[in-house]
Amino acid sequence: MSQAAAVHKRTAPVIGRAAVVETATTDPPWLRARRDEAWSIYQATPMPSTRSEEWRYTDLARKLRLDELVVADGDRGPGAGAGTVLPDALRQTMDQDRDGAGRIVEVDGKVVSVELDESLARQGVELASLRDAARQGDGDIQRLLATEAVPASDGKFPALNAALWSDGVFLRIPRGVHVERPIRLSRWVSRPGNATFTRILIVAETSSRLSFVEEILSPDFDRTTLVNSAVEVFARGGAQVQYVSLQRLGHGGFYLANQRTLAERDSTLDTLNVALGGSVGRVDLNARLLGPGANSDMLGLYFGDTEQHFDFNTSQDHVSPSAHSDLLYKGALDGSARGVFRGIIRVHEGAQGTDAYQTNRNLILSDDAIATSLPNLEIEADDVRCSHGATVGQLDAEALFYLMSRGLTRGKAERLVVLGFLGEVLARLPMGGVVEKVTNAIVAKLRNV
C-alpha cells in the first residue's frame, strides 16, 4: 500500500494546466478546445467567497484547499480499471440495485462497467461511459456537453469540471421509449486527498420515460477529498424524468455538485437530492421550466451529525408561462452539524400562469446544530401563484409524549419522529430501492442520536 501510494504521488498531477493537458490527451479536438476554454474561465473566475450571497454560509477558502489535492484518474495506478475487485461497501449497495434496467459503475472517476437490458438496447437506449461516447464523436454530446445546462461560464467549479472531467455517464432515451425500472449509477471514491471530476449527461427525447439514480460512496478519509459533479438533464416535450442523487461519502469527503434540469413543454422533470455523508456537501440545483405544462417536483433530504455541513442552493426558473414547480427540502441536524438552504423562485417577465412553491423545513436535534434558511422569491409577472415557507423547530414534544405514553423509550420515540419527518420527502417520490436504502441509512445514523 505504501509503495502504491509512493507511485501515485510521483505521477498524479495537481490541479493545473498540466492536468488539463494530460486529461485531454486522447480527446477529439472540439473537446480539447472546450477544456482549454473552460480552464481559462476557471483561472479568470475568483474563488467564491462568503461575501457573495450564494456562498455566505459555506466558507470555501477555509474548508477547501485546492492546492493540496491531486487530480484523480481511474486509469492511473494499480487496482483500477476494468476487472477491479470492487470494495465491499460498493458491492453491497450494488446488490440492492439488482432490479436496475441498466447499471453503470464508476471507480475514482472512471467508468469500469456498463450493463443495459438487452431489450432497451434494442429500442435504442444508449447508456455509456461519457468519455467513450465523446471520443466516438456523438453529435448530441458535442452540442449539449457543458453548453446549455452547466457551461463553464456558470462559475468557478463548473469551469473546473468542464476542464478536468475524467469520465461520467451519457444516457439517451429515444423518442417514446419508456424505461420502466431505474437506471443506476454506483460511484466509489477510494483515494484520500484526490479530486474527482465527473459529469452526467441525460437526454430524454420527446415522450420518453426514465428514472436515474446515482449513489456515491467512499470510506472515511484522513484528509479532505473532493468529489465534483456536473449533472445535465434534458427533458424534451412530454418526457417524464426522475433524477435521484444519494450522497453517502465517508468522513473527509467534500462533495460539490452542479445540477441543472431543463424541462420543455408538458414534460415532467423531478429531482431528489439526499445528503447523508461526507464532511461538506454543497449542491447547486437549477430547474428551468422552458415550456408550458412543464413540471418539476424538487425534493431534498439531509441529515447531518458530528460536524457535517450541508448547503443547498436551489433555484426554480420559470422562463415559460403556465409551468409548475414545487420544492420540498427537509433536514434534520444533530451534533454540531450545520444545514443551509437557500432557494429562489424566479418568475421571469411574461411567465404568466406560473405555479411555484417552495418549502424548507428543519429539525434541530442538538444544542450545537445550526439551521439557516433563505427562501427567496423574485416575481416579474402578475398572474402567478407562488408561495414559500420555511420553518425551524425541534422535535414536537406532544408527539414524543404520545409515543412514550404508548411505551416507547425516548430514544425510540425520537427516532420515529425524525424518520417520519424526513420520510415525508421520500413518500413524494416512492421509487423502489431508494426509499429502503435511504431509510436504512437514516436509521443507522439515528442509532448515534
- Report, in Å, the least distance between residue 161 CB and another protein: 28
Radius of gyration, alpha carbons of the chain? 21
- Judged by CB under 8 A, does residue 424 bind another protein? no
200, 168 contact by CB (below 8 A):
yes
Q: Which stretch binds another protein (CB under 8 A): 197-205, 217-225, 237-245, 368-376?
A: 368-376
25, 164 contact by CB (below 8 A):
no
User: In the set 26, 40, 306, 391, which binds another protein (CB under 8 A)?
Assistant: 391
| Residue 141, CA atoms < 13 Å, CB-side half-sphere | 27
Q: What does the alpha-carbon distance between residue 236 and residue 281 come to, in Å, rounded to a whole number? A: 30
User: In the set 392, 399, 400, 419, which binds another protein (CB under 8 A)?
Assistant: 392
- Report, in Å, the least distance between residue 252 CB and another protein: 25
All three cell numbers of 212: 436515474
- Judged by CB under 8 A, does residue 371 bind another protein? yes
User: In the set 53, 148, 220, 307, which binds another protein (CB under 8 A)?
Assistant: 53
DSSP summary character for residue 14? B
User: In the set 92, 119, 136, 394, which binds another protein (CB under 8 A)?
Assistant: 394
Q: State the helix-helix crossing angle for 397-405 and 410-427, rounded to 10 degrees.
A: 120
- Judged by CB under 8 A, does residue 399 bind another protein? no
Residue burial 101-139, b: 16+ Cβ < 10 Å; e: rest? bbbbbbbbbbbbbbebbeebeeeebbbbbbbebbeeebe
User: In the set 11, 40, 376, 440, which binds another protein (CB under 8 A)?
Assistant: 376
Q: Which is nearer to another protein, 179 or 364 (CB)?
A: 364
- Report, in Å, the least distance between residue 388 CB and another protein: 5
All three cell numbers of 54: 450564494
Give the residue carrying C-alpha cell 420515540.
413
- Report, in Å, the least distance between residue 343 CB and another protein: 11
- Report, in Å, the least distance between residue 443 CB and another protein: 22
Q: What does the alpha-carbon distance between residue 340 and residue 57 come to, in Å, rounded to a whole number? A: 7
User: In the set 19, 202, 276, 364, which binds another protein (CB under 8 A)?
Assistant: 364
Q: Which is nearer to another protein, 88 or 382 (CB)?
A: 382
Q: How many residues bind another protein (CB under 8 A)?
A: 34
- Report, in Å, the least distance between residue 349 CB and another protein: 8
Q: Which stretch binds another protein (CB under 8 A): 112-120, 126-134, 268-276, 392-400?
A: 392-400
Q: What does the alpha-carbon distance between residue 232 and residue 244 come to, in Å, rounded to a whole number? A: 13
- Judged by CB under 8 A, does residue 367 bind another protein? yes
User: In the set 379, 399, 441, 449, which binds another protein (CB under 8 A)?
Assistant: 379
Q: CB within 8 A of 307, min separation 6: which ones?
A: 279, 335, 336, 337
- Report, in Å, the least distance between residue 389 CB and another protein: 5
Nearest to 166 by CA among 42, 304, 25: 25
The amino acid that residue 289 corresponds to is L
Site of interaction with another protein (CB under 8 A): 53, 352, 362, 364-394
